[in-house]
């Protein structure tokens, strides 16, 4: 993946978006669910806007501007992201001088970073082209920084485009959102996402893609992190649920994860269990179909629905979890408790897949 290229499922959207450069809005909020490539879209969008000889609106890859973007030193491109993100990219120090030497790199975009753009607006651009500020993840702007950006957008500097990449635009300052044109990105079609993921050399690509809710970059990230195609939390949960085991082992696994991640995972599993209650195959964890079906057969649908609501509530709370360990302990208990069978499973029970003859 080069910084110049759009992902295959984004190319058409990008062409449409870039087609009307003369009437281009000065601020865009590019958003979509995690792992579908909103930052990649914004990055390739910046390159395309800066390119001197774009092809059907997209970066050519050969001109001086494209070479600068690839080398990470185009004078008309600024990346505004938390120091912690810059550090992960291995680019700290390039335009966040105080990142080095700090013990804990910031997870926020700070007001100084937004203010540091002000002198830049007064410099001439290369060949009178665009100036592009890439801001990501936009959610990491604290309120003060967001207000500073809002002030800039109220009187936008000439020749300047702001590209804000976000996964949860509902967490942004509403007045800021209202100053941006929204560009929502959709989940890629499954065959396209799968072909791309396989092209990255990922094993068990279909299983991983399903477990990532169809988000190919998330699946790739999981694979590159060395995680098993079947997530550990799922394996532990399905085992404990089957034998009504104690919740401590599950709590341990969850405590080691980002709360938002396991909440997402369980929401997907709950959908699969709901499908299983109706005798339908799982959507997110197809490789676990036998275990999910066996569990779903005996579940109490009302209890399942209550726990689904509980998970929805956790999705909101998990962003501000004060004590992840405590949340993990509690969640492990709630989730396993809701797996208690409504009725004992035996040959006398009605089962969706039981043979009709003689079953009554």
**Residues forming the site for Zn ion (CB under 5 A):** 51, 60, 63, 66
- Gap between the Cα atoms of 360 and 79, Å rounded: 67
Smallest distance, Zn ion to C-beta of residue 61, A: 6
Closer to Zn ion by CB, 55 or 337: give it.
55
Residue with tokens 């008309």: 76
Closer to Zn ion by CB, 50 or 296: give it.
50
Closer to Zn ion by CB, 63 or 354: give it.
63
Distance from CA of residue 276 to its chain's centroid? 27
Closer to Zn ion by CB, 68 or 310: give it.
68
Smallest distance, Zn ion to C-beta of residue 167, A: 29
Smallest distance, Zn ion to C-beta of residue 13, A: 20
Closer to Zn ion by CB, 24 or 310: give it.
24
- Gap between the Cα atoms of 272 and 17, Å rounded: 36
- The residue count for the chain: 360
Smallest distance, Zn ion to C-beta of residue 75, A: 15
Closer to Zn ion by CB, 63 or 321: give it.
63
Smallest distance, Zn ion to C-beta of residue 4, A: 8
Smallest distance, Zn ion to C-beta of residue 52, A: 6
Q: Is the peptide bond before 301 cis (omega within 30 degrees of 0)?
A: no
List C-alpha distances in Å: 187 to 75, 124, 145, 280.
33, 38, 30, 23
Short-list 247, 236, 307, CA closest to 277? 307
Task: Give every CB contact of residue 328 below 8 A, 6+ residues apart in sequence.
Answer: 251, 252, 254, 255, 259, 262
- Gap between the Cα atoms of 74 and 96, Å rounded: 16
């Amino acid at each position: 993946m080069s910084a110049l290229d759009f992902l295959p499922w984004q190319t058409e959207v990008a062409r449409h978006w870039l087609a009307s450069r003369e009437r281009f809005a000065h601020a865009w909020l590019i958003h979509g669910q995690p792992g579908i490539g909103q930052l990649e879209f914004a990055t390739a969008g910046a390159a395309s806007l800066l390119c001197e000889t774009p092809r059907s609106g997209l970066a050519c890859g050969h001109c001086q501007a494209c070479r600068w973007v690839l080398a990470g030193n185009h004078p008309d491109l600024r990346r505004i992201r938390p120091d912690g993100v810059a550090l992960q990219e291995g680019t700290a120090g390039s335009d966040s001088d105080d990142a080095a030497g700090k013990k804990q790199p910031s997870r926020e975009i700070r007001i100084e970073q937004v203010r540091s753009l002000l002198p830049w607006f007064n410099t001439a651009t290369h060949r009178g082209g665009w100036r592009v500020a890439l801001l990501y993840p936009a959610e990491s702007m604290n309120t003060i920084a967001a207000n500073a950006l809002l002030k800039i957008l109220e009187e936008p500097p000439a020749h300047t485009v702001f590209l804000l990449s976000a996964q949860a635009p509902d967490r942004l300052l509403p007045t800021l959102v209202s100053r941006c044109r929204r560009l929502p990105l959709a989940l890629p079609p499954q065959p396209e996402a799968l072909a791309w993921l396989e092209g990255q050399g990922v094993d068990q690509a279909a299983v991983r893609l399903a477990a990532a809710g169809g988000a190919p970059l998330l699946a790739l990230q999981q694979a590159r992190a060395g995680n098993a195609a079947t997530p550990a939390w799922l394996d532990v949960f399905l085992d404990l649920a089957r034998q009504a085991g104690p919740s401590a082992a599950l709590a341990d696994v969850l405590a080691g994860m980002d709360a938002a991640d396991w909440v997402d995972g369980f929401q997907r599993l709950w959908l699969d269990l709901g499908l299983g209650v109706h005798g339908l195959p799982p959507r997110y964890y197809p490789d676990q179909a036998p275990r999910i079906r066996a569990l779903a057969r005996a579940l109490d649908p009302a209890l399942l629905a209550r726990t689904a609501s509980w998970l929805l509530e956790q999705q909101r709370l998990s962003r501000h979890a004060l004590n992840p360990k405590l949340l993990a302990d509690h969640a492990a208990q709630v989730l396993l408790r809701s797996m208690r069978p409504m009725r004992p499973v035996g040959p006398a029970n009605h089962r969706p897949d039981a043979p009709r003859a003689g079953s009554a």
